[in-house]
Amino acid sequence: MVPVVELNDIAHVYVTDREASLAVEGIHLKVEPGEFVSLVGPSGCGKTTILSVIAGLLQPSKGAAYVNGDPIYGPSPEVGYMLQQDYLFPWRTIMDNALIGLELTERLNPESRSAVQNLLREMGLGDSGNLYPSQLSGGMRQRVALVRTLATDPGLLLLDEPFSALDYQTKLQLEDLIVETLKERGKTAILVTHDLSEAIAMSDRVILLNRNPGRIHRLFDIPENIRRAQPFFARKEPGFNELFHEIWGEMQTIGKE
Amino acid sequence: MTTRHEPSASSSKGWLQDIYVKHTKKKKSIRNRVLAVQLSLLLLFFIWWEAAGRWKWIDVLLFSYPSKIFSNIWGNMVSGELWGHLGITVGETVVGFLLGTLVGTLLAVLIWWSPFLNKVLDPYMVVFNSMPKVALGPIFIVMFGAGFTAIVITTLSITVIVTTLVVYNSFNEVDSNLIKVVRTFGGTKRQVFQRVILPASYPAIVSTLKVNVGMAWVGVIVGEFLVAKSGLGYLIMYGFQVFNFTLVLSSLLIIAVVATAMYQIVVYIERKLLTHR
């Protein structure tokens, strides 16, 4: 099977007037279809850089990157990106916000429109289509952002700390919703997060990154029982705490370097 | 869907309703009191001015007084002389301020589109912006003839660069994450502009409209001073030369009324355009 994402010895350099600094180096990564992978690590480890490379927003300085076996030249409709906050356009209604991706890729037609309407309904936003973002709560807005990302039907979703701006309760609900939605549709996903327990609860594989420059430190495969459980219940599965402390310990040693 | 309590929705709780009614009543009464004081201040000023003029506390030749001014305006209105001057001035102002905003915004789009052009033009814009543009008036009159065009160009010289700078600034202040949203869908630069930059900058563009109303009046009146053929600016100049200050003050009063009306129209447009923000 062709991996959905393949990164081959990726390095990226950020150039400013003062200096050229190495953000990530020697990144090798393969993500199989349907897999849910999390990137965790201390700040400055280049998590978002890696995501931007896969999204086609950044051309890596070195190395080769492929999505579905094709080299990445720029953003593609195959890849959906969810940001840290909803970033809905305040001047557009919820429906129009959800449709923006279809509009931009010129795939807006009555069928795709009703598909988005259905998606909104599935997320419990069926009645909100004509409202404006300012009239919705943070959790609802992030759900609209999820609909916006799913509307173009990408095979791969990049989630860049999508829960970081939400309160704890909303965050737990959204974790369940996202995992469920993605599993149902057979999507592949890469999640960037600061929250270790979130990473373990949601993913099939956790990748711990080291910093200065960012590189892969260690891979952790999540045991079957935790993987199968919904994120909320995964936290109570046997082995969850042990794994949490193992990764936590590794992170501490990175921090001391 | 919002958590806001609509008082009407919870009518079973009468005391909630009471608090709400009390609140609106208090707000209304404050608004009325402000309006009353404003109106009486205005009235008092006119009464004092009238009295001062009639009993010669002030120099009537210089300061005139309200009844004289109003009868002057009324006379000009009836004879029809006012309308021609008023029409020309309002026409010049409206054209100048719409064109100024449009050209200024287009220029902002241009330098947003090409950062290279922006870097090249930057010092020229700074120099031109800090220059007293009305000083160019005589040159415009020679170039475009003593009339409508020269006056509109004078107005443009005042409004365009400021508009460009303000609008360009607001283009740059658009949240980069909103742009990222469009970019992740593979949006082009053109789409980024149409879907994000422009709609996000409507408030800034409308607020430059507000500023430009005032600027356009300055440009037009100064232009009419220089051209001195017709318009309210010409009336002021003429009144000054023949020492008829009743005419000068009449023109000023009319300008105040019309300029305020134009400003209110812009405010109305702003409210229509910028709901939901």
Q: Do B27 and B159 belong to one domain?
A: no
Domain with B39, as residue range(s), is 13-57
Is A232 or B6 the better-scoring residue by pLDDT?
Answer: A232
Task: List the single residue in B178, B187, B276 with the smallest CB-CB distance to A87.
Answer: B178
Q: What are the tokens at B64?
A: 């005139």
pLDDT level of residue A239 (50, 70, 90 thresholds)? confident
User: Total structural domains in chain B?
Assistant: 2
Cβ neighbors of B178 (< 8 A, separation 6 or more) are A87, A89, B196, B200
Verify whether the Cβ–Cβ distance B195 to A80 is below 8 Å: no
The reported pLDDT for the residue numbered B40 is 96
Answer for the pair A68, A155: CB distance below 8 angstroms, yes or no.
yes
Tell whether A117 is within 8 A of chain B (Cβ).
no
Residue A186 is assigned to a structural domain of this protein: no
Q: Identify whether residues B27 and B71 lie together within a single domain.
A: no
Q: How high is the pLDDT of residue A188? A: 94
Cα B87 from Cα B83, distance rounded (Å): 6
Chain A residue numbers with beta carbons less than 8 Å from the beta carbon of B175 are 87
Q: Stretch A225-247: mean pLDDT, rounded?
A: 88
| CA-based nearest residue in chain A for residue B178 | A87
Q: Are residues B76 and B40 in the same domain?
A: no
Domain assignment of residue B89, yes or no = yes
Domain that holds residue A143: 85-153
Are residues A104 and B180, on separate chains, in Cβ contact within 8 Å?
no
Establish if B71 belongs to a structural domain: yes
DSSP code for B194: I
Q: Are residues B47 and B78 in the same domain?
A: no
Domain containing B103 — which CATH number?
1.10.3720.10
Share of chain A above pLDDT 90, in %: 52
In a domain, B236, yes or no: yes
Residues B156 and B247 in one domain: yes
Q: Say how many domains are in chain A.
A: 1
pLDDT of residue B92: 93
Higher pLDDT, A212 or A81: A81
Is B167 inside a domain boundary?
yes
Nearest to A72 by CA among A100, A44, A51: A51
A209-219 pLDDT per residue, tens: 988 888 888 89
A43 inside domain? no
Same domain, B51 and B87: no
HEC readout, B26-45: HHHHHHHHHHHHHHHHHHHH
Which among A79, A84, A104 has the least Cβ separation from residue B182? A104
Alpha carbons A53 and A67: distance in angstroms, whole number: 11
- Quick check: is B2 in a domain? no
Residues B53 and B88 in one domain: no
Q: Is the pLDDT of residue A255 over 90?
A: no
Domain annotation covers residue B3: no
Whether residues B21 and B141 fall in one domain: no
- Domain termination residue (choose one: B38, B57, B76): B57
Which among A183, A168, A198, A147 has a CA at the least distance from the CA of A38? Answer: A198
In angstroms, what separates the C-alpha of B187 from chain A's closest C-alpha?
6
Q: What is the pLDDT of residue B236?
A: 92
Q: Clarify whether residues B85 and B43 are in a common domain.
A: no
Each residue's pLDDT tens digit, A47-69: 889 999 999 999 999 999 999 98
Do B53 and B69 belong together in one domain? no
- Whether residues B132 and B183 share a domain: the answer is yes
SS (H, E, C) chain A: CCCCEEEEEEEEEEECCCCEEEEEEEEEEEECCCCEEEEECCCCCCHHHHHHHHHCCCCCCEEEEEECCEECCCCCCCEEEECCCCCCCCCCCHHHHHCHHHHHCCCCCHHHHHHHHHHHHHCCCCCCCCCCHHHCCHHHHHHHHHHHHHHCCCCEEEEECCCCCCCHHHHHHHHHHHHHHHHHCCCEEEEECCCHHHHHHHCCEEEEEECCCEEEEEEEECCHHHHHCCHHHHCCCCCHHHHHHHHHHHHHHHHHC
**Residue A141 reports pLDDT greater than 60:** yes
Q: Is A223 a member of any domain? A: no
**C-alpha distance from B189 to closest chain A C-alpha (Å):** 11
pLDDT in tens, B230-242: 899 999 999 999 9
- Chain A contact for B78 (CB, 8 A cutoff): no
User: Are A100 and B276 a contacting pair at CB < 8 A?
Assistant: no
Per CB-CB distance under 8 Å, the chain B contacts of A140 are: 1
pLDDT in tens, A160-173: 998 888 888 888 98
Decide if A167 touches B, using CB distance below 8 A. no
Is B199 a member of any domain? Answer: yes
Q: Provide the pLDDT for residue A253.
A: 85
Q: To the nearest whole number, what is the mean pLDDT of chain A?
A: 90
Q: What is the pLDDT of residue B2?
A: 46
Low-confidence ranges of chain B (pLDDT < 70): 1-12, 276-277
Residue B183: what pLDDT? 92
- B20 and B127 in a single domain? The answer is no
Q: What is the CA radius of gyration of chain B?
A: 25
